[in-house]
Chain A
Amino acid sequence: MMKRQKTENQIRTDQDKIKIDAGHVMAALLLVFILLVSLFAPLLAPYDPYQLDMRHALEPPCAAHLLGTDAIGRDVLSRIMYGGRQSLLLAAAATGLSMTLGCIIGMIAGYFGGKTDLVITAVSNVFQGIPGMTMMIAIAGLMGSGVTSMLLALVITSWVGFSRLVRGEVMKLKQEYFVEGLKGLGAGNMRILLLHIGPNLIGSILIIFATRIASAMLSVASLSFLGLGLQPPTPDWGVMISDARTHFRQVPMLAIAPGVMIVLLSLSINILADALRDRLDVRADVVKGD
């Protein structure tokens, strides 16, 4: 037993000293760079992102406008700098709300089981069966386009992912001896759920949060591209790609620049989410390994 204990601790120590991958560092630096630029866009942007200048419309990249200008002469670089703010904020808010809703529902289903679980699982299955984008378009169509309907659409289509994961984890955790021991001590359900099961879920939730935020960002961009999310003249990457459709052949940079930003941001978040999963999953297995 002692020997096995030492081996587990050894694995844990090795895991703590996990080799830092160059890709992860690049992704982290990129993410921090994008976040800082978005945050300090008002200070860094060379032009006002809403300022029209028809004399310099559709200019290719030049010294005055590093990424050129759009069809109504707005500076593309300034709009790119501002463009991440709304998408990121909306993606974070939608993922945060989905996570809260999914966690509460998943914890109730997993912990109490029985008929409660049956009902929640049936409802989850219905929501999971609906194609995400179709549902988002339907909600945006019903409620009208805008930030509120986009948020609602994102939450409705993504809470199930959190709920299913949390339900499974809670079902596994409630079989653990420490939970049975707590019941034996006289701990109530709320204490067990909030003080013991909850903290043990953080690792798994964090991983799915990081992964989902990237896909939520893509959904925000897609909905804005379709004209159902953020509306022009808001400087947003999805809106910018949508605006660029008519002049794409003439000035390709109009679509390429926001496209590259969407790819870079979602890629960096995904790489970091993967790294987080690799790190936390192994640790979780070691902890539960006995």
Chain B
Amino acid sequence: MNNDGMLSVRHLSKSYTRGVVRRQRVDAVKDVSFSIPAGTAMGIAGNSGCGKSTIARMIMGLIPPDDGAVFLDGRQISGLKAGEMKTVRRQIQIIFQHPESSLDPRRKIIESVLEAMEIHGVKQGRAQREARVEELFEMLGLHTRLFQRYPHQISGGEAQRIVIARALTLEPKVLILDEPTSMLDASIQAHILTLLKTLQEALGLTYLLISHDLEVLCWFCDRIGIMTGGALIETGTRTEILEKPEQPFTKKLVESFFAF
């Protein structure tokens, strides 16, 4: 496994202890390595609690890994100091599962979106920043009348597109999508995924899509990794995973996918 992809992780591990009297060590992520070439999408599939989201949070530096390293465009980003990490965050952004709770409930939409640019000093002055947000809203099919609304006054699909717009204001190279559509209706889900595909082509984004839905991953991603019990047990192209699965767990997952 080399580090020459846009996003690479090497031997990433994280464990937690649980219990008060009988303390047990639980391996959330065990020695996970993968690399995503620039402009491509990799998917990670697995059951709930298999460590998919823990990987996403470790890549983002939201939780420190016990072992291993994360590389962005060849540069190690794990273990950076807060100041250095801030510059990295412009290049790598995350979209969470719960769109409505991803925005501060007491802030208007426009304030939440502008904040990302304020933090990083992207563009000068509010007018320029607002103009950029308007451009992105148009690209994502959002109306600017949403600017003055609060998160509880918009739909889940709108909220998720707003969160994507907020991430795009920073012009990132990589987007981590942690179950971005699992809380949305099927039609909105398809719309968001199509939109993300279009954005990838237009902006050359690199994606790491985390989902339990193999169908979504097969349609969206160039390569798919299968996770169980914290370990990445198999990676391959969608054809390899669907037609020639090697691991028994992957076979079971594919069989359950075809059962519908």
Contacts and interface: CB of A to CB of B under 8 A. Distances in A.
Q: Top 4 nearest A-B pairs by Cβ distance?
A: A186-B89, A186-B86, A177-B101, A1-B156
A290 B93 contact: no
A199 B106 contact: yes
A196 to B, nearest CB: 5
A186 B106 contact: no
A234 interface: no
Given A2-B156, A9-B153, A186-B120, A181 B183 contact: no
Query: Interface size for chain B: under 10, 10 to 19, 20 to 34, or 35 or more residues?
Result: 35 or more
A240 B181 CA distance: 67
A8 B60 CA distance: 32
A287 B89 contact: no
A79 B85 CA distance: 64
A182 B104 CA distance: 9
B71 interface: no
A107 to B, nearest CB: 16
Contact of B98 (A5, A183, A287, A290): A290
A241 B98 CA distance: 58
Interface string A258-290: 000000000000000000000000000011101
Contacts of A196: 104, 107
A186 B183 CA distance: 25
Contacts of B60: 184
A212 B252 CA distance: 60
B106 to A, nearest CB: 5
Given A185-B116, A287-B152, A290-B98, A200 B105 contact: yes
Nearest to A184: B94
Interface in B21-62: 60, 62
B223 interface: no
Contact of B101 (A12, A199, A290): A290
Interface string B66-97: 00000000000000001001100110011011
B152 A8 contact: yes
Contacts of A186: 85-86, 89-90, 119-120
B14 interface: no
A176 interface: yes
A185 B105 CA distance: 17
Contact of A184 (B62, B115, B183): B62
Nearest to B106: A199
A191 B60 CA distance: 19
B12 interface: no
Q: Choose among A5, A178, A183 the residue with the greatest number of B CB atoms under 10 Å from its CB.
A: A178
Contacts of B85: 186
A185 B119 CA distance: 8
Nearest to B169: A185
Q: Choose among A5, A177, A181, A196 the residue with the greatest number of B CB atoms under 10 Å from its CB.
A: A181
Contacts of A185: 89, 93, 115-116, 119, 166-167, 170
Interface in A29-46: none
A48 interface: no
Contacts of B188: 1
Interface residues of A, number: 26
Nearest to A9: B152
A187 interface: yes
A176 B90 CA distance: 22
12 contacts: A177-B97, A181-B163, A182-B115, A183-B62, A184-B60, A186-B89, A186-B119, A188-B82, A188-B86, A200-B104, A200-B105, A200-B106
B156 A12 contact: no
A142 to B, nearest CB: 41
Contact of B156 (A5, A181, A184): A5
Nearest to A176: B101
Given A1-B155, A1-B156, A178 B103 contact: yes
A217 B254 CA distance: 69
A53 interface: no
Q: Choose among A8, A9, A196 the residue with the greatest number of B CB atoms under 10 Å from its CB.
A: A196
Given A180-B62, A185-B166, 20 more contacts: A1-B185, A2-B185, A5-B152, A9-B152, A12-B152, A177-B96, A177-B97, A177-B98, A178-B105, A181-B96, A184-B60, A184-B62, A184-B94, A186-B86, A186-B90, A186-B119, A188-B86, A191-B119, A196-B104, A199-B106
Given A12-B152, A199-B106, A200-B104, A180 B116 contact: no
Contacts of A288: 105
Contacts of A191: 119
A125 B102 CA distance: 34
Contact of A181 (B102, B105, B155): B102
Q: Choose among A183, A191, A288 the residue with the greatest number of B CB atoms under 10 Å from its CB.
A: A183
Nearest to B103: A178
A32 to B, nearest CB: 29
B142 interface: no
A8 to B, nearest CB: 7
